[in-house]
Amino acid sequence: MQQLKEMRGPESRVLIIMTGGTICMRRSELGFVPARGFLEAGLAPRPSFNDGSNPGTLGVMVDDDRMKEHRSLRTPISTYGRQVRYSVLEYEELLDSSSIDAKGWAQIARSIARNYELFDGFIVLHGTDSLGYTCSALSFMLQNLGKPVILTGSQAPMLELQNDATDNLLGSLIIAGHFMIPEVCLFFNYKLFRGNRATKVSASEFSAFASPNHPPLATISSLKTHVSWDLVRRPVDLHPFSIQVNLETTHVACLRIFPGIKPEMVDAVLRVEGLRGLVLETFGAGNAPGGPDSALTKVIEDAVKRGIVIVNVTQCMTGSVSPLYAPATVLGRAGVVFGHDMTTEAALTKLAYLLAQPNLSYKKVAELMSVSLRGEITESSRTFFQHPNGQLTPKVAQVTALGYAIADGYLEAVRDIIKGARSFSLNEPDYAGNTSVVSTSS
């Protein structure tokens, strides 16, 4: 026994939150149904999930003031010389992913918050139907996140002979237990995506999800995990982790523009009682039928004047909404917000998140919808067409000086620059497009 202990590497602790979905289902006379006891039935018998050492229990907060001991398992030693110890928190009432709403998202967020200090990372098992929406919602709800939260599921149940559940869960477990990627992510088919960039692209293939406008944060090969660290977002301030759970999706809607759509149809949606925000899926780079004097434009303009935030995203799988073509510019002049390259899932949940904050004005919500909060939008910095010649603005000069001080490791200079700044953002680019902590030329 002593020799076995010496062979084991250091441990990390991961909590698997089982909300439901295909991944934990089993066969029955009525078809596939959720299987209780997922850890015992699906994980304990598998050597890749259980080194057989019976490491005991882990305390898991099941509600705000009650901790319950849960059986834990431990993986074999990984390529990186570490073992992952984990427990499974099963919800008493499993969530149907096709029926999940803001209440279900809040339940997941609270489970993470209650156990945030007890575990190094979190995995959420979830049905694939609405997985993209849940990933996007949680990316906004989990504020100042400092640990990995990975959502995954499968197209076939873990207990089926041919399945993708084993690889999806094991890959998620390896990443959550080994790599500090402090984002809400989605892992599927050997790829780790930023959660609010992912969308479901297939109803049956194992490669069910894609991230059309953003590369994967990590990929798993037969030998190791390849993390694109330059893409990983990290906290830029010292605010503590918190959650916002009062999202209300009944105040937002999504409408897809199609050729020949009647302005009356759009107007009917925009006049739904209680509606405060609309995601408009338009053609190409943000185009819609009609012109500046068309009935459709007038309907949209009137809605904006009534205080409804309308966000323009493209129907295309890749690309961005921008003022490139006249129709998109017409919508912009009518007060519609350019959604850039946000997915529909990200735009809808972000709108619900912002509208739920009581102190944000209409103008501020509209402004924040076109700004990246959690990496949901590809950020672009200002372009300078000449080499700096000593005539930089004070703000740009300050950012540039800070970047050099950080690169050279001059802690005192860093402190002096930040202390002397009236306002500062570590995401502000200098003349070359570099931020204080990320260089575009590296």
Active site residue 297: no
Alpha-carbon distance of 202 to 210, in angstroms, equals 9
Strands 191-194, 209-210: pairing kind: unpaired
Does residue 43 form part of some domain?
A: yes
Segment 171-190 shows an average pLDDT of: 96
Poorest-pLDDT segment among 106-115, 166-175, 401-410, 432-441: 432-441
22, 249, 297, 343: which is the annotated catalytic residue?
22
Q: pLDDT averaged over the chain?
A: 86
What does the pLDDT read at residue 89? 95
Q: Are residues 256 and 223 in the same domain?
A: no
Poorest-pLDDT segment among 18-22, 29-33, 99-103: 29-33
**Of residues 199 and 205, which shows the higher confidence score?**
199
What does the pLDDT read at residue 425? 58
Partnered with residue 187 across adjacent β-strands are 192
Q: What percent of the chain has pLDDT over 70?
A: 87
Q: How many helices (H) and strands (E) does the chain have?
A: 12, 20
Q: Are residues 281 and 214 in the same domain?
A: no
Q: Are residues 178 and 278 in the same domain?
A: no
Alpha-carbon distance of 294 to 202, in angstroms, equals 37
Does residue 375 form part of some domain?
A: no
Q: Are residues 239 and 130 in the same domain?
A: yes
Report how many domains make up the chain: 3
Q: Which long-range contacts (CB under 8 A, 24 or more apart) does 208-217 make?
A: 208/128, 208/155, 209/128, 209/131, 209/132, 210/317, 212/317, 212/318, 212/343, 213/318, 213/319, 213/320, 213/341, 213/343, 213/378, 214/375, 214/378, 216/191, 216/192, 217/181, 217/183, 217/185, 217/192, 217/193
Q: Which CATH number is 110's domain given?
A: 3.40.50.1170
Alpha-carbon distance of 30 to 41, in angstroms, equals 20
Q: What is the DSSP letter of 418?
A: H
Quickly list H helices, 325-374. 326-333, 344-355, 362-369
Helix axis angle for 131-141 and 102-114, nearest 10°, is 50
pLDDT in tens, 307-366: 999 999 999 989 888 766 555 677 888 889 999 999 999 999 999 999 999 888 999 999
What does the pLDDT read at residue 440? 44
Domain that holds residue 414: 381-442
Alpha-carbon distance of 73 to 50, in angstroms, equals 6
Q: Which of 234, 214, 221, 218 is nearest to 176 (CA)?
A: 218
Residue 424 pLDDT level (bands cut at 50, 70, 90): low
What does the pLDDT read at residue 441? 42
pLDDT in tens, 69-128: 999 999 999 988 899 999 999 998 887 778 888 999 999 999 999 999 999 999 999 988
Segment 410-417 shows an average pLDDT of: 75
Degrees to nearest 5, angle at CA 194 with 191 and 195 = 105
Q: Are residues 199 and 307 in the same domain?
A: no
